[in-house]
Structure 1
Amino acid sequence: MVTTGGTLLKDDILRLGQTVHILVATPGRVLDLAGKVMDEADKLLSPEFQPVIEQLISYHPLNRQIMLFSATFPIIVKAFKDKFLAKPYEINLMEELTLKGVTQFYAFVEEKQKVHCLNTLFSKLQINQSIIFCNSTSRVELLAKKITELGYSCFYIHAKMLQAHRNRVFHDFRAGRTRHLVCSDLLTRGIDIQAVNVVINFDFPKNSETYLHRIGRSGRFGHLGLAINLITYDDRFNLYRIEQELGTEIAPIPPVIEPSLYVALQ
């Protein structure tokens, strides 16, 4: 992909939504795109981005100021901090922001029981809007089809869709044109939809960072939220590890979930 200051930034951002292996650009445009396309530090410092960031930093004076903002603090961020930041001041709001207001439960099921369990949750819960996470794009589409066959309004979104299509689906979901959205981890970051009060992990994530980002889609703007995790036998160790790493408890799902835990008072 070739980009310079004479082309529309919006068009470039859309093109970067597709697969781009080599970017040929003027330095100013690279900096513009870095500011618009890349956001949280843990994503910014992932293996595909970190060499670019380090090169950009090399153009700055030694007395520069670098600030890192991220919802999580994985090893890659710590390594970068130790390398480039001299005696940084850390502000950690993890305890305050990440899990506050989100009630977490798990349901222990067999893989073949998941759709039936989801159907039961739909009938029992007071869902304003829900986001349902799967671990692969193929499972996203299959589950969305199953939910539609059950008679529920449902959209889906994943990384293999064209950017324009993803934008339209997300816009329609935000506008309330459907109650349920099935997605991959594409939608875990920076998505603020006030109406979402339930997140369901149809497939349980592999690590605590992904788990935090997912359940953080509910309980936004100080509202209450509910996270339901469908746990299979193979997920049991991940469940225990994520509880330990986050210092939180994911309790067994009760027969009745009190609406006061996740439904705003009128």
Structure 2
Amino acid sequence: MLGLTHVLVVKLYLFYDAVVILVPTRELALQTSQVCKELGKHLKIQVMVTTGGTSLKDDIMRLYQPVHLLVGTPGRILDLAKKGADKLLSPEFQPSIEQLIQFLPPTRQILMFSATFPVTVKDFKDRYLRKPYIINLMDELTLKGITQYYAFVEERQKVHCLNTLFSKLQINQSIIFCNSVNRVELLAKKITELGYSCFYIHAKMLQDHRNRVFHDFRNGACRNLVCTDLFTRGIDIQAVNVVINFDFPKNSETYLHRVGRSGRFGHLGLAVNLITYEDRFNLYRIEQELGTEIKQIPPHIDQAIYCR
């Protein structure tokens, strides 16, 4: 799977010659900055990360020191730009992106990286990228190495089905997606009551709590993580080999980002979708739009297709 989604890399001169990497969530900003620091440690590149939920004053003071690469979320970067010092092109982010572009010099360079190419991304490309060079790896990379199944269930059967999956699958780490914050917390409580280790994360949690959960799960402190779509965008956790859509998504873009949390770094992955009667049309449409097949789950799943 393509690792970055809706990441806009902009070469600009807000403060002095620098590169700014804009990402849609705070967790992805922290992850991306760590990668940049690792890649740049032998090049004497100073990397800074800035997101909401932290001190704006401290970030401004940090920018008095050399910063060659700045990683952050759009709102925080825009705050810094205005002072001179959660899907980037979705309705809540696009106005900030467009305002940021107004700070750029005419000689700017903009690069866009996306795992999907919805209409909003195409419209943005047509408006702001001058004669862009397009590299499309979708046919080669989309859902490669991920085996997809569905289990047709009633809503009241979902927790029992999940319990069965836990007992039968060889899970290194799993990410379980729900469609609302309330369902995330309720499901995490149910999973804990069943005797399995479980964390949960969503956008309404305090940032310190989110950071701690993300860090601990990434380091293997817990096997299962229940979350909303906050956690779909570009997050790379190598040990995740199973993704479960406890609630099936409504569009193919969200589905692609969710199941792509498994099968990272060339590893194999497994996606299991719990499908209710109301989900059947979305299942068919997503298969058609992605040109993929989601098969009915068999009684036994060979570990060789998702464990390596």
With the shorter chain as reference, the TM-score category is: 0.7 to 0.9
Q: Counterpart of 1:181 in 2: which secondary structure? A: strand
Higher alpha-carbon deviation: 46-55 or 235-244: 46-55
Structure 2 matches for 1:40-119, cutoff 5 A? 43-119=87-163
Q: Counterpart of 2:189 in 1: which secondary structure? A: helix
Cα distance in 2, alignment partners of residues 167 and 59 from structure 1: 30
Structure 2 matches for 1:1-266, cutoff 5 A? 13-15=51-53, 35-38=71-74, 43-264=87-308
| AA matched with 2:280 | R
Identity over aligned pairs, percent: 76
Q: Deviation per CA, 1:106-129: give whole Å up to 9, x if none.
A: 000000000010011011111111
CA RMSD of aligned residues (A): 2.7
Q: Give yes or no for contact 2:87–2:233 (8 Å, CA) kept in 1.
A: no
Task: Quote how far apart the aligned CAs of 1:130 are.
Answer: 0.6
| AA matched with 2:51 | I
| AA matched with 2:172 | N
Task: Quote how far apart the aligned CAs of 1:74 are.
Answer: 0.7
Cα distance in 1, alignment partners of residues 100 and 203 from structure 2: 27
Cα distance in 1, alignment partners of residues 92 and 188 from structure 2: 31
Quickly say closer, same or farther: Cα 1:132–1:78, change in 2 above 3 A. same
Cα distance in 1, alignment partners of residues 99 and 238 from structure 2: 38
Q: TM-score, normalised by structure 1?
A: 0.84
Cα distance in 2, alignment partners of residues 153 and 71 from structure 1: 31
Unpaired runs of 5+ residues, structure 2, are 1-14, 16-47, 75-85
Q: Deviation per CA, 1:10-34: give whole Å up to 9, x if none.
A: 6x624279xxxxxxx9xx89xx998
Task: Quote how far apart the aligned CAs of 1:177 are.
Answer: 1.5
The alignment of Structure 1 onto Structure 2 pairs a total of residues equal to 245
| Structure number with higher strand proportion | 2
Q: Deviation per CA, 1:115-173: give whole Å up to 9, x if none.
A: 01001101111111111100001001111111111111111111111011011111111
Q: Deviation per CA, 1:233-258: give whole Å up to 9, x if none.
A: 00001101111111111111111111
- Runs (4+) of structure 1 moved beyond 4 Å? 32-35
Unpaired runs of 5+ residues, structure 1, are 18-24
| AA matched with 2:73 | V
Q: Counterpart of 1:44 in 2: which secondary structure? A: coil
Cα distance in 2, alignment partners of residues 209 and 34 from structure 1: 28
| AA matched with 2:252 | S
Q: Give yes or no for contact 1:13–1:33 (8 Å, CA) kept in 2.
A: no
Cα distance in 1, alignment partners of residues 52 and 129 from structure 2: 33
Q: TM-score, normalised by structure 2?
A: 0.73
Q: Counterpart of 2:110 in 1: which secondary structure? A: coil
